[in-house]
Chain A
């Protein structure tokens, strides 16, 4: 098996893949590229399955996604309201009726934790989406065009990177006032620099590859080069990076909520901890109000991190050399 000469460019995860198709009409370049990518994705999945860490992360994440989606079925939302009849005695340790005990308003901690899944995950995912969008755009422009654009953008990126996260987040969130959108905005604003850095580095290394230069010599427009050649090859690495960013975003959300800067209207794991600490739960020994939401955070962040590392192991061309 000899490596095939690069033509439209190697996808980072796929060396020569032979598409065993029966006789059929000649395919367009787009179809070939798409088929190649599908095969590459299949290969990645097959390798991913072998990665124990990645699979464990996927299972844990799957569990939490399930909980987030089916929250109303698993625990009635009425349980979030202290005046709801389902509330019980205050600050009770776990019993059969309230498997994780109750908080200071008599609400079931299990219900709170289940519903907290939604906000924590949504904030994590949405803020990451924005982060990646900004980061990719800036990283692409800086890496691809270079020159003054790169200097200015990189200077901006470096500045953001130097500033410690929480003080900046606190400053912004305090000014904007605590709300669902504030948290998302603040997390995105403070997270995009590292994504931009990674993307730019990748773009820089791809820019000088022969197939890009060849394409340009053939008269390809910038847009074509970016969307057809650079993005698809940066794609896998962006994906791994994104997953790790979600993990961080969820941690950030919990911290901001804990400090009182989160969404006051909805329950997230961070706000549960904010309430429990504010009510003196740790000092009173009310461990059932403290452990579950924190454990949930740990598990979800852990799952995203494990998935991210597994993907990085598989997709990162540098690591694959061994």
Chain B
């Protein structure tokens, strides 16, 4: 059975100016121990998805569709069941750990709280477990007594990860876990996540805007644009042979040292991502797309199959070859 199966997820925020569509019909599937990466620019809706999966969005936000976690629809759960499922089946590693942790509570207590409220251990045992968790993420157990402000950004992020593991979930949602960190620390945390995922057989939904990070960690990649998934498939294929022009541009924006085609100017995309209240007609990407043609402003493409487990929402995929000009080949920028 698929661990996580999201169907037709739609999220509309309620603001003073009216409803704002943040997610416009998204499907996601994650198998046990599989790592799915979700990438896109700011405002594309990826963080909203993280919140939606456990119903953590602000009150009044409209969330429709189905979110099947181990076969149960999270969106239909009663509050008691939802609270029981939270953290025990799925937990979240938030970004900006310094702000995601309670400033006036010791970090050990915060991790313990997760264990205690789910009745997974008594107080003394929980305390011991927390020590073990901290060690698992590479922190000395004495850090239990520290407050968040006494730890560095990287250390706090490790605490978040330890906390996320506290109740032995089968799925971890990592919402931009490395974004707020320095590059060196980023690498360390990534390495830690990879190891933990491998050792514990965790499934992960890895959300970020940094595509290069995802290629290393993920089995599959999904690219989001303007509230929809525009490409999704095996990580290597999506990154190196991008079928969607947006994916292409995104991948190009992260130059790799040593690769020939980056010797010239760094590429980027003109324009800004569209406002959710003001989406272009037809294919939402067409105003910025270097390959747009006459049909693009008029037809909103669905996800077409590039190959059995690889789809992209571009009219070019429908009739043209999946491999675009000048595609990178795996191994060329290692």
**Which A residues lie at the B interface, using CB under 8 A?**
1, 322
Contact = CB atoms under 8 A, between A and B. Distances in A.
A322 B278 contact: no
Chain B: interface size category: under 10
Contacts of A322: 15-16
A322 B16 CA distance: 8
Contacts of A1: 278
A258 B136 CA distance: 71
A322 B15 CA distance: 8
Interface in B1-44: 15-16
Nearest to A320: B16
B22 to A, nearest CB: 16
- Classify the secondary structure of A's interface with B: loop
Contacts of B16: 322
A1 B15 CA distance: 17
3 contacts: A1-B278, A322-B15, A322-B16
A322 B278 CA distance: 18
A322 B13 CA distance: 12
Contacts of B15: 322
B249 to A, nearest CB: 20
B52 to A, nearest CB: 20
B20 to A, nearest CB: 12
Nearest to B274: A2
A43 B238 CA distance: 48
A117 B264 CA distance: 77
Contacts, number: 3
B270 to A, nearest CB: 14
Nearest to B271: A2
Nearest to B272: A2
A1 B275 CA distance: 9
A1 B16 CA distance: 17
A180 to B, nearest CB: 46
Contacts of B278: 1
Nearest to A1: B278
Interface string B235-269: 00000000000000000000000000000000000
B284 to A, nearest CB: 16
A1 B278 CA distance: 8
A318 B182 CA distance: 30
A191 B15 CA distance: 38
Interface string B276-301: 00100000000000000000000000
A44 to B, nearest CB: 16
B157 to A, nearest CB: 27
Nearest to A322: B16
A143 B315 CA distance: 57
Nearest to B278: A1
A83 B240 CA distance: 100
B232 to A, nearest CB: 30
B173 to A, nearest CB: 26
B131 to A, nearest CB: 42
- 3 pairs of A and B residues whose beta carbons are closest in the complex: A1-B278, A322-B16, A322-B15
B73 to A, nearest CB: 31
A322 B20 CA distance: 13
B273 to A, nearest CB: 12
A1 B17 CA distance: 14
A95 B272 CA distance: 73
A318 to B, nearest CB: 15
A155 to B, nearest CB: 30
A322 B60 CA distance: 14
B253 to A, nearest CB: 22
A201 B108 CA distance: 39
A18 to B, nearest CB: 16
A1 B277 CA distance: 10
A223 B15 CA distance: 41
B228 to A, nearest CB: 22
A1 B276 CA distance: 12
A5 to B, nearest CB: 13
B279 to A, nearest CB: 13
A46 to B, nearest CB: 14
A322 B17 CA distance: 10
B17 to A, nearest CB: 10
Nearest to B15: A322
A254 to B, nearest CB: 38
Nearest to B16: A322
B144 to A, nearest CB: 38
A3 to B, nearest CB: 10
Interface in B48-103: none
A321 to B, nearest CB: 11
